[in-house]
Amino acid sequence: MSRARTARSARARANMAIRLLKTIQPWPRGRGMGRSFDDCFEMGDGNEVCRRIIAAACNDCELRNAMKRHGCNDWLEAVRAKLSSTEEHQQLLF
């Protein structure tokens, strides 16, 4: 059983998913995200977990790069939309 299944909050599962995004190599070079990553979203609050990941990516360039490596294009679009609303962040976009 993965730790995501025993985490008590969406925040904890989002932090786990972020850590996995940053550390696991994308498929095909690596082993892929796997069951532990999936479990972060399957506890009835997957939308909240996604929202927290997107919010974190607005201030974390390393996370945005990890999203790009893993092909999380929908999340990147959401981050771009959030960042584009503030002029100072325009330069931080990819």
pLDDT in tens, 57-91: 999 999 999 999 999 999 999 999 988 876 555 55
Listed in sequence order, the residues at least 6 apart from 7 whose beta carbon sits closer than 8 Å to its beta carbon are 13, 16, 40, 43
C-alpha span between 17 and 64 (Å, rounded): 13
Average pLDDT, the chain: 85
**Helical spans, DSSP H, in the chain:** 10-23, 34-39, 46-57, 61-70, 73-84
